[in-house]
Structure 1
Amino acid sequence: METKGTVYFFTGLSGAGKTTLGGLFYRRLKEQKPNVVRLDGDEIRPVFGEDSGYAFEDRRRLAERAFRICKMLAAQGIDVVCCSISMFDSVREWNRKNIENYKEIYIKVTKETLLSRNQKGLYTSGKNVIGVDLPFEEPRMPDLIIHNDGQNSPVELVEEIERRLHGETPHLNTVTTPAQETAI
């Protein structure tokens, strides 16, 4: 019986650092094992063509399609690092129920940090922007919560993610679990 791959889902608002941290995590994981694929929300959209717009239902459909691909790849023993907002609780619940090895990593930042990083100009345009005029359903039970407001470098944060996912002793207090968040 073939070993299933793991889906590592890096989620958070635009500008939170999903692609930066997920990309670094992917490269480090790829050094250890050959069967690793990275899917990024910005790169997935053109693959599905014209019905992959930015309206609420278009976004939901795109997220559902992306995670069906993640499930298919993981079933073949391929690890998948997926970096995407995928703002829907229903999608994350589907992932937990249907993807055997699923790890959800929520990249959380303050509104001030998002505004300062506003590389794409999204937060000033305010049209079809998640967290501005479209709701963002904050993950309720991620495996890890990464506070990425610039206190730690991307390398430090990814090393901490690796430690936490492997059950090792944590070093940084900017990476937490939902239980630790509640206690704060």
Structure 2
Amino acid sequence: MKQQQPRCIWFTGLSGSGKSTLANMLEKRLCERGLHTYLLDGDNLRHGLNRDLGFTEADRVENIRRVAEVAKLMVDAGLIVLASFISPFQAERQMARRLFDVTEFVEVFVDTPLSECERRDVKGLYAKARRGELKNFTGIDSVYERPEHPELVVDTCDHSVEYCVEQIINTLLPADVGQ
């Protein structure tokens, strides 16, 4: 009905890696092509649906479980869902993947070194974590498990946002999307 292939494009990477920037630009580009999208990220879910969750390991697991369930409902409704979450644990990303048909879930690993993420940190979260003022911060005192087999790895250090978005569109979206 929407003349598009519904799917969930799951962006994962450290805070400051460029996940949200890429997801926002990709959403804009898809909308320009007349496609129906929805962007899920930590900000729009942590202020509502997930406001009762903190940043303990258990809360992070529950956060991703809820995100995946919402994304699945939206894909079932025919949308292209862009999910931008650190999602630090491999098991939770695999749990999310299992909710979808094999062609509906695309994992994009935004592979940015910790040092670059810290340099980009406009909110000062890494500095707070290093001073011990922010507990369970991924990359500092909480682990980030690199994806084992993402559909795509993008490098926001050596490539522009525009290049990375083109890479995502050309590599991961079906030929009939916005052609």
What TM-score does the superposition give when structure 1 sets the normalisation length?
0.83
Alpha-carbon distance between aligned partners in 1 of 2:66 and 2:173, rounded to the nearest angstrom: 29
Deviation of the 1:167 alpha carbon: 7.5
**Residues 68-120 of structure 1: per-residue CA shift (max 9 Å, x gap):** 00001101111101111111212211222221200000001112211211212
Alpha-carbon distance between aligned partners in 1 of 2:114 and 2:50, rounded to the nearest angstrom: 31
Q: How many residues align?
A: 167
State the identity as a percent.
31
Q: How does 1:81-100 map to 2 (within 5 A)?
A: 81-100=82-101
Does 2:156 correspond to 1:148? yes
Alpha-carbon distance between aligned partners in 1 of 2:36 and 2:163, rounded to the nearest angstrom: 24
- 8 Å CA contact 1:71–1:98 kept in 2: the answer is yes
Q: How does 1:28-107 map to 2 (within 5 A)?
A: 28-100=29-101, 101-107=104-110
Does 2:126 correspond to 1:123? yes
Matching residue of 1:160 = 167
Q: Secondary structure at the match of 2:107?
A: strand
Give 5+ residue unaligned stretches, structure 1. 169-184
**Residues 123-162 of structure 1: per-residue CA shift (max 9 Å, x gap):** 111222101101111111110011111x222111111111
Which has the higher relative contact order, 1 or 2, with Cα contacts under 8 A spaced 6 or more apart? Answer: 2
What TM-score does the superposition give when structure 2 sets the normalisation length?
0.86
Deviation of the 1:18 alpha carbon: 0.4
- 8 Å CA contact 2:36–2:79 kept in 1: the answer is yes
**Which structure has more helix as a fraction of its residues?**
1
Letter of the 1:5 counterpart:
P
Q: Secondary structure at the match of 1:141?
A: coil
Which has the higher mean CA deviation after the structures are superposed, 65-74 or 111-120? 111-120
Deviation of the 1:35 alpha carbon: 2.0
Letter of the 2:108 counterpart:
I
